[in-house]
Chains A and B, each alone.
Chain A
Amino acid sequence: MRGLDLGYFIRRIGMFLLVIFVAASFNFMIPRLAPGNPIGAITSRMSNASAGIENGQAMFEAYRERFGLDDPLYIQYTKYMWNTLRLDFGESLSAYPAEVWDIIGPAIGWSISLIGVSVLITFVLGILIGALLAWKGTPGILKSLLSLTMIGGVLPYYLLAMLLLYFFAFTAHVLPMSGAVESGMARELSWPFIKSAFRHAILPASSIILTSLGGWALSMRGLMVNTIGEDYMLLAEAKGLRKSRILWRYAIRNAIPPQLMHLAIALGHVVSGAILVEIVFSYPGLGYQLYMSIVNSDYTVIQGITLILAVSVGLAVLIIDLVYPRLDPRVTYVAESSG
């Protein structure tokens, strides 16, 4: 591939593996650093749920053995890492004997479509708005109208989500309040299903789009201002090229790749924000499941979701990084890149 040598490729893959390794280690350490122990949490939850536990001590031991908590720490760690590597997260504690995957699996689809579509729309709109804000030929009125998009960036994701929920779903009844489809609807690829899913996604997606749009537009504007100052822009103008061609092929085209790099860095934040948006709308994605598993003290599911989130963001960033040299010929990783 052009501008992409083996060393860089290996380094990037190594980075990705490091992300997974660190995330998994966090997952392993956090519960063990916490006061008390996970089993105590489980048994106390059980005794709260029922009046008391029969054979409490035996159950305690059984759990200890099941989770290998009697082994020395390094063996626990190795076992844990091995299981993680095989993406085996074990059984859910609150919905036993359901596997963690049975809970995470369906949620992943919803999350990916919600976040993916929102990010795509935000990215495209952000580029357009930012470009128009920096472009000299944009009418003043349009510029001030476009600056209004910055307002959304002032509110946190979840607050805008709550406001949208209140005005559009609760007060005006134009859009559904929660869920991803009408309740009881079977998951199938049919027209009513898609329509329902679309209607349910409008508000959560809007919260993500409206709150992050301003930031994207602002950074795109910064990149555009820089690009417009380049000499080749002057040359293009001197050659008498059409204004629209200069805008699209010369200015915007050159400002997009760095913007894509921003996306790679910001993706973790977007996903964090989306977690909260999902919770507000009870949208059955990973964020909502994470919340539910915390409410239910379902630690295996919590760990599974945290890891899946880290892995998917890491994967997305890896892909962006690997295609980047193809999009931006100015960047080659053949020479030693010092960051």
Chain B
Amino acid sequence: MNTATVQNNTRPNSGVNIWKTARVVLGFFNNNRLFTFGVLLLLALFLFGYIGEMTTSRKMADMGAAKLNLRPSAENLLGTDGLGRDMFTVMVIGIPNTFKIGFLAGAVGVLIGALMGLIAGFYKGYTDTIFSSFADVMLVIPTLAILITVSAYVRVVTVEIMAVIVGLLSWPLPARLIRSQTLSLRERLFVDVARLSGQNDFEIIIFQILPNLTAYLAASFVGAVSGGILASVGLEVLGLGPQNVPTIGRTLYYAFNYSALFKGMWWWWGPPLVTLAIIFTGLFMMSVSLDKYANPRLQGSTHN
């Protein structure tokens, strides 16, 4: 294999140096306080779920594990719901599950989207027309309606299946973004140089174009995670999510079906609501902050 290395003109120092990398990463966090804050917010929530899980027994999330309708107390930190589940345990198990769905769905969506975007943008012509038309069509169709239909037929059993189904429908936006960037990147000089030095299409896409799309991939991923959680919680609230597994959405589903709102049981519907607000605030901060790197429109306006 020809291993001629081509200097990538957007990253002149590609020598691997842990300290340098660490400094760059820390510098990024320091320069993007909003992003950092968003990450910390999500991290705090994740740790709450992760550490909290060790302090309690999963059994407490089963129906009838405790007395019904208890207010928060020292014994039941967040009280119990109308079916005798300890709310603290439900949240502690539900939060990682919700994260899992979001991240898995986001990963599936960005993976498919990036693949389609790269192929369409790189090969142009008919390939592009077919891929782009398909993406545009999928953008128009209201995803939730399809998701609801799918979930109505395939009574979703596990968190993973749920994540994959949601992820399979979230690729069009990443695909569009990656395609438009690939279209412009493939005309750059370093791609010509790479081709002249004997790299084939696959190598060019992976080693030349992909590294330059990092910001776009990151932004797409945050967007896809956000969309994935939004859609999956929506389905769960309708009772169409994974069965028998505590998730944030399912907790809300029970809270509404048992009229927690109207019984004044704020500890039943409050925690999932606050959790979702924190998750979406964190993701929103990250995406706004990444927009600076990934939104071509905003880049052109810095001279103003």
- Seen from chain A, the residues whose Cβ lies within 8 Å of a Cβ on chain B are 15, 18-19, 22-23, 26-27, 30-31, 33-35, 153-156, 158-159, 162-163, 165-166, 170, 218, 222-223, 225-226, 228-229, 265, 267-269, 271-273, 275-276, 279, 290-291, 294, 297, 299, 302-303, 305-306, 309-310, 313-314, 317, 339
Contacts and interface: CB of A to CB of B under 8 A. Distances in A.
A162 B261 contact: yes
A305 B145 contact: yes
Interface in B220-270: 230-231, 233-234, 237-238, 240, 252, 256, 261-262, 269
B256 to A, nearest CB: 7
B24 interface: no
B140 A317 contact: yes
B153 A18 contact: no
Contacts of A228: 304
Contacts of A265: 139
A195 to B, nearest CB: 26
Given A170-B262, A294-B148, A158 B141 contact: no
A22 B138 contact: yes
Interface string B137-152: 1111111111011101
A303 B153 CA distance: 11
B185 to A, nearest CB: 15
A155 B300 CA distance: 30
Contacts of A313: 140-142
A330 to B, nearest CB: 15
B133 A15 contact: yes
A31 B233 CA distance: 23
Contacts of A229: 300-301, 303-304
B132 interface: yes
Given A159-B276, A226-B301, A310 B141 contact: yes
A31 B134 CA distance: 22
A155 B277 contact: yes
Contacts of B132: 339
B136 A15 contact: yes
Contact of A225 (B134, B240, B301): B301
A162 B233 CA distance: 14
Contact of B142 (A155, A159, A303, A310): A310
Contact of B256 (A23, A162, A163, A275): A162
Interface residues of chain A: helix, strand, loop or mixed (majority): helix
A12 to B, nearest CB: 11
Interface residues of chain B: helix, strand, loop or mixed (majority): helix
Contacts of A19: 137, 140-141
B190 to A, nearest CB: 22
Contacts of A290: 145, 148
B11 interface: no
A18 B133 contact: yes
B295 interface: yes
Contacts of B128: 339
A30 B137 CA distance: 18
B220 to A, nearest CB: 15
B234 A158 contact: yes
Contacts of B288: 218
Contacts of A31: 153
A306 B149 contact: yes
Given A15-B136, A294-B148, A306-B145, 14 more contacts: A19-B140, A19-B141, A158-B237, A162-B261, A229-B303, A229-B304, A268-B142, A272-B142, A275-B145, A276-B234, A276-B238, A290-B148, A310-B142, A313-B140
B284 A309 contact: no
A3 B31 CA distance: 45
11 contacts: A18-B133, A22-B137, A222-B301, A223-B297, A228-B304, A268-B140, A269-B142, A299-B152, A303-B149, A306-B149, A339-B128
Contacts of B284: 153-154
A291 B277 contact: no
B273 interface: yes
B298 interface: yes
B252 to A, nearest CB: 8
A11 B180 CA distance: 20
A265 B252 CA distance: 30
A310 B150 contact: no
Contacts of A273: 144
A245 B153 CA distance: 56
Contact of A154 (B148, B154, B238, B280): B280
Contact of B230 (A34, A156, A225, A267): A156
A225 B277 contact: no
A162 B273 CA distance: 10
Contacts of B153: 30-31, 33-34
Contacts of B148: 275, 290-291, 294, 302, 306
B140 A310 contact: yes
A305 B149 CA distance: 10
Nearest to B146: A26
Nearest to B173: A265
A158 B180 CA distance: 33
Contact of A23 (B134, B141, B261, B280): B141
Contacts of B142: 268-269, 271-272, 275, 309-310, 313
A290 B180 CA distance: 36
B119 to A, nearest CB: 15
Contacts of A165: 261
B234 A154 contact: no
